[in-house]
Amino acid sequence: MNIPLAITGDRPTGPLHLGHYVGSLLNRVQLQHTHQLTVLIADFQALTDNMGNPQKVRANIVELMKDYLAVGLDPSKVRFVLQSAVPELFSLTCYLQNLVSVGQLERNPTVRSELTARGFERGIPAGFLCYPVSQAADIIGLGGGMVPVGDDQLPMMELCNDLVRKLNTMGANLPLANTLLSSTPRLIGVDGKGKMSKSAGNAIALGCSALELEQAIKMAYTDPQHLKVSDPGRVEGNVVFEYLSAFDPNTAEVEELKAHYQRGGLGDMALKRRLLGVMEATLSPIRERRVQVSDSEALDILAKGTYEARAGAQQVLEHVLSCIGVAQLPPPPLSGVVTVRDEYGGCFPEDNLSPPDVQPLDRGGCGN
Ligand code: TRP
């Protein structure tokens, strides 16, 4: 029963791509056999710089779920959680914010480069600056353990463990999170200009069609000096060779092809045809599984994991608040009822405040 815990997450800002596949998804598929893995869809975090585009974030939640299931994450093993639907994480975030300084948040190198990339020099959303605290709350509130992430997440992990140590001086006795860095180097984008990313427009999505795949490979950057088939070509930075190295199971043949290309006499077209075959073999099973998952199936799985997670997060929150020394009210009188006004006009039927007129005040509800 003592399965170690692991937690990781993604922002739902676009479909997952080949970079995610080699960089993290394959690891997760392995990890689900050895750990109780939680995969968090960090929609609140995505909204910290997307408040003007909530429909993008909302729509990508189900796309992410389909990607996860299509690559082989098994819902009977993995707990999928929607961040915004676990309000305990935000209570925790608010208290944790009092344990970091604004200066510390401003020095976070990942946040700094994101701020520059988004042109937020002026008018930084406060929530954006604080999202690393919210991420620490995710990890603490959902149980912590092993956290497989890319190296850009190292400053977040440092902050998280800083907060865990501070809470532990208050008697919380929480485990430090264990960062597991992906050993796979970043996958280069099809344009050869940098790592694959949706925002750079150089990504191949996991759910792309055969035609989209073919077009992407046709455009893939090779060696601009390699004009004639007989010319010697460069392998370094050549996207076709980068992808063959990452995906072609026949590594010996790939090494021979590299040598041949460097000598001259091997054309880009022939290489790209091989690459297309290799990539189709990787992506077609994913694509097939992906279309078999309906929206409602994906969302039901997410809802189930989220409600389970909420119950656990509630316990962590209560424990942390009592260690901090936050005032606690006595439990509601057993016989009495508390009248709750329907201030929201009944907009939140899933909320424990419904039915709106008469309802015992229940701080322990987890919505399921
Ligand atoms: N910041 C992470 C990313 O952009 C997503 C994330 C949110 C996360 N909460 C997390 C990752 C908790 C690990 C653990 O990829």
Tell me the per-residue pLDDT of 45-97, one tens digit each, with 9 for 90 and over. 999 999 999 999 999 999 999 999 999 999 999 999 999 999 999 999 999 99
Nearest CA to ligand 1 atom 13: 8
Render the burial of 194-223: b for 16+ CB within 10 Å, e for the rest.
ebbbbeeebbbbbbbeeeebeebbeebbbb
Tokens of 63: 């796309």
Instruction: Give residue 228 CA to ligand 1 midpoint distance, Å.
Output: 46
State which amino acid sits at residue 150: G
Which among 347, 350, 222, 290 has a CA at the least distance from the CA of 63?
Answer: 290
**CA 40 from chain center: how many Å?**
6
Instruction: Give residue 9 CA to ligand 1 midpoint distance, Å.
Output: 4
For residue 338, give the H/E element and its range. strand 338-339
- Which one of 39, 48, 138 would you pick to mutate in the ligand 1 pocket, going by the greatest count of ligand atoms within 8 A of its CB? 138
Decide if pLDDT at 166 tops 50: yes
Nearest CA to ligand 1 atom 8: 9
Cα gap 291→299, rounded to integer Å: 15
Residue with tokens 């092809």: 257
3-state secondary structure of 34: coil
Contact 182, 24 (CB under 8 A): yes
Contact 141, 316 (CB under 8 A): yes
Amino acid 198: pLDDT = 87
- Total-model pTM: 0.87
Decide if pLDDT at 359 tops 90: no
Contact 8, 39 (CB under 8 A): yes
Decide if pLDDT at 184 tops 90: no
Residue with tokens 């690891």: 27
Contact 308, 143 (CB under 8 A): no
**Cα–Cα distances in angstroms (integers) from residue 155 to residues 17, 107, 109, 174, in the given order:** 24, 10, 7, 19
Instruction: Give residue 320 CA to ligand 1 midpoint distance, Å.
Output: 21
pLDDT single digits (tens) 191-212: 999 999 988 899 999 999 999 9
- Which one of 11, 41, 90 would you pick to mutate in the ligand 1 pocket, going by the greatest count of ligand atoms within 8 A of its CB? 11
Which among 21, 45, 42 has a CA at the least distance from the CA of 182?
Answer: 21
Amino acid 344: pLDDT = 46
Mean pLDDT over 313-326 rounds to: 97
Cα gap 197→275, rounded to integer Å: 20
Tokens of 184: 């796979």
Pocket around ligand 1: residues whose beta carbon is below 6 Å from it?
Answer: 7-11, 40, 42, 45, 135, 138-139, 147, 149, 153
Cα gap 131→89, rounded to integer Å: 12
Amino acid 343: pLDDT = 47
Instruction: Give residue 11 CA to ligand 1 midpoint distance, Å.
Output: 7
Is residue 283 exposed (0-12), middle (13-18) or buried (19+ Cβ within 10 Å)?
A: buried
- Which one of 27, 153, 158 would you pick to mutate in the ligand 1 pocket, going by the greatest count of ligand atoms within 8 A of its CB? 153
Tokens of 142: 């959902």
For residue 40, give the H/E element and its range. strand 36-41
Which among 272, 244, 246, 243 has a CA at the least distance from the CA of 256?
Answer: 244
Give 1's pLDDT tier (boundaries 50, 70, 90).
low
Nearest CA to ligand 1 atom 15: 10
150: Cβ–Cβ under 8 A, 6 or more apart, which residues? 23, 24, 181, 182, 186
Mean pLDDT over 239-251 rounds to: 95
How do strand 358-359 and strand 338-339 relate by DSSP bridges?
antiparallel
Instruction: Give residue 271 CA to ligand 1 midpoint distance, Å.
Output: 36
- Which one of 149, 151, 160, 195 would you pick to mutate in the ligand 1 pocket, going by the greatest count of ligand atoms within 8 A of its CB? 149
Contact 138, 160 (CB under 8 A): no
Which among 354, 359, 309 has a CA at the least distance from the CA of 88?
Answer: 309
Give 116's pLDDT tier (boundaries 50, 70, 90).
confident
Which among 48, 277, 19, 327 has a CA at the least distance from the CA of 150?
Answer: 19
